[in-house]
Each structure stands twice: as structure tokens, then as C-alpha cells.
Amino acid sequence: MQRRFYFDANATEPLRPEARAATLAALDALGNPSSIHGEGRAARRLLEDAREAIAARFGGAPRNLVFTAGGTEADALAIHGLAGGGRVLRGATEHPAVIAAAGPQAGIIPVDPQGVVRLEALEAMLAEGAALVSVMLANNETGTVQPVAEISRLCRAAGVAFHVDAVQGAGRLPTSLAEMGADAISLSGHKLGGPPGAGALLLTRDAADRLMPLMLGGGQERGRRGGTHALPAIAGFAAAARAATAEDAASLAPLRDAIERAAVACGAVVIAGGAARLPNTTCLMLPGCRAESQVIALDLAGLAVSAGSACSSGKVARSHVLEAMSLGAGAGEAIRVSLPWNATGEHVSVFAEAYRSMAERMGRRAA
């Protein structure tokens, strides 16, 4: 069987061994965390330990953390729950979860060609009044990191709530609710190397107290999110949050840089190469070669990469992220390469070889 190499960590990270162990242990825990008998209390302890670990890891308080089914629900909860029907401003390159929750009436904050939010544009938009600003910590397609501390200052000055979709940045960059100056941050377990099925919204106390719930019933999560807790996924999420450090993620940058050098040598252009970026992510445009064809060619060679976000359920559409960065036709010629936490030098050599061979074949066809 062909050996496969995974370069799609931004879609989902491989499960970390610590998270696997915690998930399996929680699968054996029998009780419902809301039951008051011994089994229920044991399950509740697992839940509260997880809550404390995740809150501490991301600079918030356990009581202000709301467990959700994942990052998308956390985004929806933050935006519906904090904007209260008021005007929402969101970045042009946000994840579809934020775009959908913010709705068609939302103000769209433009980005520069590196994908960075234009602060002067945001300032002008804030002057017209808003209830909530939502900007991501790091982009899932290009890895571009947003200046969240500066955005926070603008929001504070305008008295507007600030939500950060930290799903891609958490565990890969220093990520602290308090240091970012956000009112709420969205987190996802499986993007940290936990199992899919658990995420969280971590809020400041003020924001937590005024959050309007999306799902009701049962009274779990202080009435902010009803439903039996997904304990195995939550336990895995906490273990992954402990294990995923920005220092470890930074060690992926040299591998990513080597991949970029190999691709550039074949004629590729690095998108957002001038921006502060996630250490594991690169977005490579190969002029004249359709992204879809590149992904298929690499897949046949045993490499899993993607043309954009994984979320569109089968639809390979043009990336709104790259369109917003004014890349023109180039938007359809870029692939996303995102290294998983367990990537090694072998990822670099395998990629360099497969990419070179693909670029040669496609180049000949294009010529």
C-alpha cells in the first residue's frame, strides 16, 4: 500500500497520544456529568478538570468557559449571543462559520494583499457604530496572523465587543484571552490534536454574564448551552490543549520554510509570505495550474493537501480568502499546505519531490 503523507492539519490535526489516552479513559467513565450519583460525580470531575485546564491554557477563568460541539458552534454562539441583533463587523477573510453567523448585513473589514485587516478602515467603520467586531487570530488558508491586540484597542476605544475566532491560532501561537484583549475567543479541540466533537467559547466575565444562549434546555453550562456534555471529546480536547504548545509549533516553521523554498524553485509564489503567519501553514500559488488539478495530482502521489477550507462539504469553490486579498486569477491556482504537529523532515523531502514532479508535468502541459 502507498505510504501517505498528511499536509492538511488546518482541516484537522492528527490525534495526539495524550488526547487519545484521555478520550479513551473518558469513554470508560460511565456517568452523565449532570447526574449526582458517584458515577455522575466522577464524570463531572473529569469535565471540570478539563474546563480548568483549557481556561488556564488560554488565559481565562473556568466559570467563563462554555463547552460547545466545536469551533463553528462557538463562533455562532459568540456572534448571536454577544451582538444581540446589533451591527456586526467582521474581517473579509473570516471562516465561513463567522461569515454565516454575522449574516449578509454585516460590515466587512477589508484586508491588504497579505490578508491583514486594514486598521484604518476598521476605525472608520467603528465610528459609524457597531455591537460586535469579529476577527480571526490566524487564517485557515494562508496562516496570516491578525493584529488582534491593536484591533482590541480600537474596539475598546469605541466601546464595542470583540470576538476572536482563535480556532487555527490556538496551540500554535501564544493565545491568551486576557493578553489579546478579547471579550470572547472560539476554540476547537480537533484543531489542537484532540478528537472532533468538542470546542469552547472562552469569555471575559462581563461577556459571559450577558451571553444569550443558542441552545436551551437542561441548564448545563450555567444555562449558556444545554445538552449532555461530550465527555470523551472534551477530555481529549483538554489533553490536547495541554500538549499543544506554541514552542513546539514554532519548530515546524523551518520545515515549512524548506517546503516553500522547494516550491519557489519550481515557480511557485508564496501567498501572504510577507505577513506574520502560522508556523505550520503555507499557501502556494503555481501560475497557470488549477488548484484542483494540483490537489488531485498530489493526492495520487500520496500527499493530502487542500485547495482551501475543508468545510464546504465537497464543493471545491474559489477561495473567498484569496479573492479578498486581490489575487485575481491566482486565487484559483493556490493550494494550502499545513503541517501536522508530528511532521518531520521526511515531510519536506516527500513534498519537494512530489511537487517538483507535478510542476514539471503541469508546466509541460501548460507550455
Partner 1 sequence: MIYLDHHATTPCDPRVVEAMLPWFTERFGNAGSVEHAMGREAAEAVEAARAEVAALIGAAPSEIIFTSGATESNNLAILGAARFAKGLGDERRRVITLATEHHAVLDPVAALESEGFEPVVLPVQADGLLDPAILAEAMRGPTLLVSIMAVNNEIGVVQDLAGLGRMVKAAGAAFHVDAAQASGRIPFNVSEIPADLVSLSAHKMYGPKGIGALYLRRRPRMRIAPLVAGGGQERGLRSGTIPVPLIVAFGEAARLARAEGPVESLRLRAQAVRLLGLLRAEIPTLQLNGHADRRVSGNLNLTFPEGTAAAILAAAPDLCLSSSSACTSGPDGAVGPSHVLTALGLSADAAQRSLRIGLGRFTSASDIETAAASLAAAARRAAAAARAAAA
Q: Closest separation between CB of residue 147 and partner 1, Å?
A: 24
x/- track of binding to partner 1 for residues 138-177 (CB under 8 A): ----------------------------------------
- Identity of the residue, 3 or 364, whose beta carbon is nearer to partner 1 in the bound complex: 3
Q: Where are the beta strands (DSSP E) in 204-320?
A: 269-271, 281-285, 303-304
In the sheet that holds 88-91, the strands lie side by side as 65-68, 199-203, 184-188, 161-165, 132-136, 88-91, 107-109
Of the residues 155, 266, 283, 311, only one is catalytic, namely 311
- Identity of the residue, 105 or 313, whose beta carbon is nearer to partner 1 in the bound complex: 313
Q: In the chain, what are the helix, strand and coil shares in percent, each to the nearest 5?
A: 45, 15, 40
Q: How many residues bind partner 1 (CB under 8 A)?
A: 81
Residue 341 binds to partner 1 (criterion: CB under 8 A): no
Q: Which stretch binds partner 1 (CB under 8 A): 37-45, 82-90, 148-156, 348-356?
A: 37-45
Q: Which of residues 196-225 bind partner 1 (CB under 8 A)?
A: 196-198, 214-223
Residue 104 binds to partner 1 (criterion: CB under 8 A): no
Q: Which stretch binds partner 1 (CB under 8 A): 119-127, 128-136, 265-273, 300-308?
A: 300-308
Pick one of 22, 53, 54, 75: the residue that binds partner 1 (CB under 8 A). Answer: 75
Residue 97 binds to partner 1 (criterion: CB under 8 A): yes
Task: Render the burial of 195-224: b for 16+ CB within 10 Å, e for the rest.
Answer: bbbbbbbbbbeebbeebebbbeeeebbeeb
Q: Which of residues 225-284 bind partner 1 (CB under 8 A)?
A: 226-234
**Is the separation of the CB atoms in 342 and 14 below 8 Å?**
yes
Residue 87 binds to partner 1 (criterion: CB under 8 A): no
Residue of 71, 128, 58 whose CA lies nearest to 100? 71
Pick one of 72, 93, 146, 319: the residue that binds partner 1 (CB under 8 A). Answer: 72
Q: Closest separation between CB of residue 125 and partner 1, Å?
A: 23
Annotated active-site residue 311? The verdict is yes
Pick one of 18, 23, 152, 184: the residue that binds partner 1 (CB under 8 A). Answer: 23
- Identity of the residue, 305 or 350, whose beta carbon is nearer to partner 1 in the bound complex: 305
Max Cα–Cα distance, the chain, nearest Å: 72
What stretch of H or E contains 89?
strand 88-91
- The angle subtended at Cα 122 by Cα 118 and Cα 125, nearest 5°, is 140
DSSP string, 5-67: EE-BTTT-PPPPHHHHHHHHHHHH--S-TT--SHHHHHHHHHHHHHHHHHHHHTTS-GGGEEE
- Identity of the residue, 21 or 149, whose beta carbon is nearer to partner 1 in the bound complex: 21
Q: Closest separation between CB of residue 154 and partner 1, Å?
A: 26
Q: Which stretch binds partner 1 (CB under 8 A): 29-37, 53-61, 109-117, 270-278?
A: 29-37
Residue 27 binds to partner 1 (criterion: CB under 8 A): yes
Q: How far apart are CA 184 and CA 189, in angstroms?
A: 16
Q: Closest separation between CB of residue 172 and partner 1, Å?
A: 17
Residue 304 binds to partner 1 (criterion: CB under 8 A): yes
Q: Closest separation between CB of residue 68 and partner 1, Å?
A: 8
Half-sphere exposure of 140 (CA within 13 A, CB side): 30
Sign of CA dihedral 140, 141, 146, 152: negative
C-alpha 273: how far from chain center:
19
Active site amino acids:
311
